[in-house]
Structure 1
Amino acid sequence: MELDRRTLIAGSLAAAGLSPRAGAQTPPPAASTALPPGLPQPTETIDLWPKGPPARLAAPLAETVDERSTDALVTDRSVRGITSPRMAVFRPDRPNGAAVMITPGGGYKWIVVDKEGYEIARWLTARGFTAFVLFYRLPGEGWSSGPDTPLVDAQRAMRLIRHRARDFAIDPERVAAMGFSAGGHLCADLAARFAATVHDPVDAADRLSARPFCAAPIYPVVSMDPGIAHPGSRSLLLGAAPSSSLEAMHSPDRNVPVDAPPHFLLHAEDDDVVPAENTVRMRAALKARQVPVETHLFAHGGHGFGLRRAIGKPVEAWPDLWRAWARTVGFA
């Protein structure tokens, strides 16, 4: 990736609205119930759009957080109705210079806060990575940017992380993407269409590359082919009766460029929500373009295992497999 590192780092706090001291940021999604003791919650956020998202809403939205867990010691929140897309920041005690942008899943109906967001971020920061959990806008909630709505936010988030690299003691080149389920679709879409023009530039950050250093779509939604697509994600992203051209445009396996970043793919073959064929097709598309890819298919694991539901199964090894692979591509 060709990036002018000196330009990226020098004056990174000078752009209006991008300094942490420039004004109050929107806090993380509010907890709807008391939180368990001992779990660090993020307090630092970065708003993506200083003057609001570059799109119109069909009707007003209210950000809503739902707690789905019945265990008082384990949170499982989801959030919907996001109108102020933002990143929750997790800083390690000893930064290793690399950052990971996390896009949690939720079928494009909501965004999972804990299982595929904060828990992953805590695991990463314990190992020196700076983590950014992205709360992106949902495509089925009436934004004029339609199916590109999540990608608009993901591109912007990658650019802002690079623009703010000095604030976080990270190398602006070493910013990875990791996503889960529908967030895996967003991760793969970003890795395929990082150079697509999906919004007009709003400031200096938008002159930077949105290409991830590497990408890790985990049990991802990939194809919009109705034969293997996750029906809910497909419907909320594309509508009830999309054209074949719209399906193709939003199937990352059909849009892999020759300069796509290295990929780490992971799926359980007994996934009864998002068929593993999504990952198989993604791997084939990357191979066809000679893009480096490592693929892990596990017999058991189901869907949405994250960290907590992988315990005691062979798939429990996945985070360490990712970390070992990350070293091989020069990320960590």
Structure 2
Amino acid sequence: MTDRIETLLQPGRRAFLATVGGGAVLVASAATAQTAPPSTGQPGPAGLPDPVETIDLWPNGAPGLPVSPPVETVIERSTDRDLTDRAVLGITRPRMVVFRPNRPNGAAVMITPGGGYRHIVIDKEGYEMGRWLSARGFTVFVLFYRLPGEGWAAGPNVALADAQRAMRLIRHRARDYGIDPQRVAAMGFSAGGHLCADLLTRFDAGVYAPVDAADRQPARPVAAAPIYPVISMTAPNAHPGSRTLLIGASADAALERAHSPHLNVPANAPPVFLLHAEDDDVVPVENALRLRAALRAKGVPVETHLFAHGGHGFGLRKTLGKPVAAWPDLFLAWAGGLLV
């Protein structure tokens, strides 16, 4: 079993064991003079330090700050020191954490972890996938985006504003990271999968005012991978928690439509890799199926993988011993024709 864990998650040693980071104090990263990654302030297991390189999204601070700003807080949900499961909320300085590969292949993936728009998971759908992909040559940017239920002026568009800005910054700084700006993909999980799907359908939506030269870059990913995504904002398929925090419990049909990616697919959406488990009891598989049908109706290439068993939120660590463990390699095979 140990050999299987190492093989699945990263070549070498203990690949998916995420480190315990530090606390909710925001300090500058020594490597880049940017805001440090979300952290609990506690040391992690030896040999697998947290990444330290970050990119702040907004040079003059994130727009639309609430009158009573949230306080960034990191919660450790695991009791196993060698298998951390952190979540962060109250983000006022949205930023990307960077995973640089030892042997870059010139392609990049921006990851938007899930958390039901209530918080953002750090390890399970962020750092673990960042390590796995960077070990295979991809430069990875894990995005810690603002949460729509925390009072930002952009409301339900606030996370999309961060995702668009992040994609533009990656391209603007492509030379710094040795990547091809034409080979930047997006990947998201659960509510982060909704954000990924929102980006692949509304990459041109004007959800913030341009702030610098980076905003002249396109926000459209060259490919996108929503993984067990929240898609529909309409009952019975909507994830209730994500819907309430994104658009409000009493949102009308027009607001539901505006934030249901399957109802906003343009003809120039990028190719899509979809993954879902049919026994998902948190986000029904119909979410992925609706997006797939909408993409096909617009002639957008879409590869879909449905697994009978897997549940929700499996990421990498919860796939061991199940057929769904094949999904990362399926993604690599698909992405090879688009990114590498």
> Which TM-score bucket, shorter chain as reference?
over 0.9
Q: Percent identity?
A: 70
1:64 is aligned to 73
- Could you give the per-residue CA deviations for residues 84-112 of structure 1, whole angstroms, max 9, x where no partner exists? 00000000001100000000000000000
Cα deviation, residue 327, structure 1: 1.6
1:331 is aligned to 339
2:290 is aligned to 281
Cα deviation, residue 23, structure 1: 7.0
2:150 is aligned to 141
1:254 is aligned to 263
Aligned partner of residue 93 in structure 2, secondary structure:
coil
User: Unpaired runs of 5+ in structure 1?
Assistant: 1-19
User: Unpaired runs of 5+ in structure 2?
Assistant: 1-28
Say if 1:65 and 1:79, in contact at 8 Å, map to a contact too.
Answer: yes
- Work out whether 1:92 is the aligned partner of 2:101: yes
Question: 1:131, 1:229 → 2: CA distance?
Answer: 29
2:246 is aligned to 237
- Work out whether 1:150 is the aligned partner of 2:159: yes
Aligned partner of residue 309 in structure 1, secondary structure:
coil
Cα deviation, residue 45, structure 1: 0.2
Aligned mate of 2:38, from 11, 16, 29: 29
Number of equivalent positions: 312
- Work out whether 1:108 is the aligned partner of 2:117: yes
- Could you give the per-residue CA deviations for residues 223-243 of structure 1, whole angstroms, max 9, x where no partner exists? 101210000000000011001
Question: 1:240, 1:142 → 2: CA distance?
Answer: 15
RMSD: 1.3
Question: Runs of 4 or more off by more than 4 Å in structure 1?
Answer: 20-23
2:315 is aligned to 306
Say if 1:58 and 1:144, in contact at 8 Å, map to a contact too.
Answer: no
- CA 1:21–1:205 in structure 2 vs 1: closer, same or farther (change >3 Å)? farther
Say if 1:45 and 1:88, in contact at 8 Å, map to a contact too.
Answer: yes
Question: 1:40, 1:28 → 2: CA distance?
Answer: 12
- Which amino acid in 2 is paired with 1:235? T
- CA 1:21–1:112 in structure 2 vs 1: closer, same or farther (change >3 Å)? closer
Compute the TM-score of the two structures, normalised by the length of structure 2: 0.90
- Which amino acid in 1 is paired with 2:321? G
Question: 2:88, 2:30 → 1: CA distance?
Answer: 27
1:316 is aligned to 325
Aligned mate of 1:217, from 217, 226, 235: 226
2:51 is aligned to 42
Say if 2:228 and 2:283, in contact at 8 Å, map to a contact too.
Answer: yes
1:8 is aligned to none
1:11 is aligned to none
Aligned mate of 2:278, from 249, 266, 269: 269
Question: 1:48, 1:108 → 2: CA distance?
Answer: 19
1:16 is aligned to none
Question: 2:43, 2:253 → 1: CA distance?
Answer: 46
Question: 1:262, 1:51 → 2: CA distance?
Answer: 34
